Structure 1
Amino acid sequence: MIHTRNIQKFYQRGEHVRYALQNINIDINEGEFVVVRGPSASGKTTLLGLLGLVDAPSGGEIYFKGTEVAHISDSERDKIRREHIAFVFENFHLIEDLTISENIELPLQYLPFKHKQKRKIVDDLMERFRLTHLKRQFPCRLGDLTQQKVALARACSNSPDIIFADEPCGRLSSGECEEFMELFRQINEEGTAIVMATHSEDNSRHGQRIIQMFDGHVVSHSTEGR
């Protein structure tokens, strides 16, 4: 699904150049659950941003479903992201003045669904994640696990081919993390690919494959997950 060839990302200020990523060559297959693991500042978040087409690399090539996407226009990148990609973040990024159902529906506003179709998708997701009784609540009234479930339901609303998750359990207790990761596992088993960035060895066990990063480099690949 995603293939990278020698991608780099650097930031330049005057004569000083700082490399966030160097010579990254990885493949993400359809339906795979891949963990990108490494300490802070190892390049995990930068890599997810490039793979998820939020940003463009400074060099190298990225292929998404056979199309080279590193050098396409912003509008083309936005279209692919709307139709195929979703994100889950550590800090949820819910819209505080929208209700739970409105937050989940948000990605559908940019897709050609009729109102009745949107409501059906949202209602089904709220039922699946046991959020129906909270549909008119606002995020600030909810606990961290519930907010992250809302964020995951929102990510699933456009039926993405792949979900990128950046430290999704960062604000959750160990028990809450297990419950959330079980939802991730179910979604993955239904065919959605997941790429999760984490520094946690314990959370890494949920993946099928682990890409270890350090100082902007991929230092190893392993299958030590589930």
Structure 2
Amino acid sequence: MRRGVRQVTAGLVALTALTGCGFLEELADPPPAPVATAAPASASASPSPVAQPPRVVLATQLSHDAAVPGGPYRGALQVSAHPVSAGLPQLGNGFAADCGLDAATARHLDLDLTFTNRSGATSVVATRISVSGPAVDADVLALVVESSAVDVRYCQDGDRTPEADRLVLGASGTVTTVTAHLVVGPDAPEDAFAGLTVELAGLHDTSAGGSGVDTPWEVARAPLTSCLDGPGGICVSVD
């Protein structure tokens, strides 16, 4: 028994010698636990740029009193201009090839033309749309109107800068929108979209309740109308 006690005592002495005084001090007074530090707050992500909404450049009323059932005929016409965007507008296949434009260097300004039918019967707005201004005079701007026809071709017969087209609003429902695109290429100046005027000429209703009676629309002057060419015609600044 005395031999076993000596062995245990010797082991304690050896452990004390090997660990030193620091070990005993740490047992008596352990160091404070490390304080957890909060991770640095990451910089907030920059907000994504907000797309600018289109700007209303025309809001006016249309009316006619065709001597057919369903009248009187009333409606509202609005034109909204989108901000200038880089690239080509979303159109059918062959647009770039027909007009000689490249998506990397083109710019476009979209115009939404919206007709709201407020008649008791079907009515439409058929019109000739054209654009004028410095970029048209310089032959660097093309006007193209979206079409639901799958075989439509833009800039036909070698005319890469058409300045006029025709469109019809109202055939598919109470509210109908058709978009016209003003497009320029790399040879156009930075201010190519300045000073442009779009004219809607010869507005007429080719349906008039399904009668087929072709009737001119009368246009009411409105505060947002830039200029009025008389009954059945409107011109509006889009820059």
Q: What TM-score does the superposition give when structure 1 sets the normalisation length?
A: 0.26
Higher helix share: 1
**Which of the pair has the greater relative contact order for Cα pairs under 8 Å at 6+ separation?**
1
Q: What TM-score does the superposition give when structure 2 sets the normalisation length?
A: 0.25
Larger Rg: 2
Higher strand share: 2
